Amino acid sequence: MALISEKFNDALNAQIGEELNSAYIYLSMSSWLKENNFNNLGEWFFSQYNEELAHAYKFMDYVVETGGTVKLPGFNAPKNDWQNVEEIVKAAYAHEQHITGKINELVVLAEELKDYGPRELLTWFVSEQIEEESSTSELVDRQAAFRNDMLFDHHTHRVSESSEE
């Protein structure tokens, strides 16, 4: 018998879609940045792309471990016609705020269902979202402070391995 309820399984499948969609968005950003010679920022967003895939796998592993069923949802093509670096970093921050809202909804749903199995998993994601909002908000602030995007790119590197998951 499955340890996961159908309702929570459905919610996690939707979240897996959110994470894969996030990966796709960051891959689009990474490509645009590299095409326009912002190579450090492009690498930053490529690492973010890989992190989002890891997030999707983490949810998928939980569904499988609890006897649920992974159903991958479809998603639309990401925005590709980025105008500038400022637009990208602001969009990344806004997207992370959106994802935080989705994680919070999962926390609320698990409580409503009195399902305590995913508590550790969701706590990890709550902390991860603090880190992701913080790092993308920092990009917005730094981009505004530098004013020159090539200089901003030159001084952008991912600082810690701890943000790589």
Q: Is 28 in the site for ligand FEO (CB under 6 A)?
A: no
Q: Tokens 């995007």 sit at which residue?
A: 149
Instruction: Report the residue closest to ligand FEO, judged by CB.
Output: 55
Least distance from C-beta 22 to ligand FEO, angstroms? Answer: 5
Task: Please list, in sequence order, all residues whose beta carbon lies within 8 angstroms of the beta carbon of residue 98, skipping any fewer than 6 positions away.
Answer: none
Q: Is 96 in the site for ligand FEO (CB under 6 A)?
A: yes
Residue from 21, 32, 46, 55 touching ligand FEO (CB under 6 A): that is 55
Q: How far apart are CA 68 and CA 132, in angstroms?
A: 28
CB 78 within 8 A of CB 24: yes
Least distance from C-beta 54 to ligand FEO, angstroms? Answer: 8
Q: How far apart are CA 61 and CA 77, in angstroms?
A: 26
Q: Is 149 in the site for ligand FEO (CB under 6 A)?
A: no
Residue from 46, 63, 106, 132 touching ligand FEO (CB under 6 A): that is 132
Q: How far apart are CA 111 and CA 93, in angstroms?
A: 27
Region 56-75 residues binding ligand FEO, contact defined as CB under 6 A = none
Q: Is 99 in the site for ligand FEO (CB under 6 A)?
A: yes
Among 29, 42, 58, 44, residue whose Cα is nearest residue 118: 58
Q: Tokens 């990890």 sit at which residue?
A: 124
Q: Is 153 in the site for ligand FEO (CB under 6 A)?
A: no
Least distance from C-beta 56 to ligand FEO, angstroms? Answer: 8
Task: Please list, in sequence order, all residues whose beta carbon lies within 8 angstroms of the beta carbon of residue 96, skipping any fewer than 6 positions away.
Answer: 129, 132, 133, 136
Closest CB to ligand FEO among residues 6, 165 = 165
Least distance from C-beta 37 to ligand FEO, angstroms? Answer: 25
Binding-site ranges for ligand FEO (CB under 6 A): 19, 22, 52, 55, 96, 99, 132
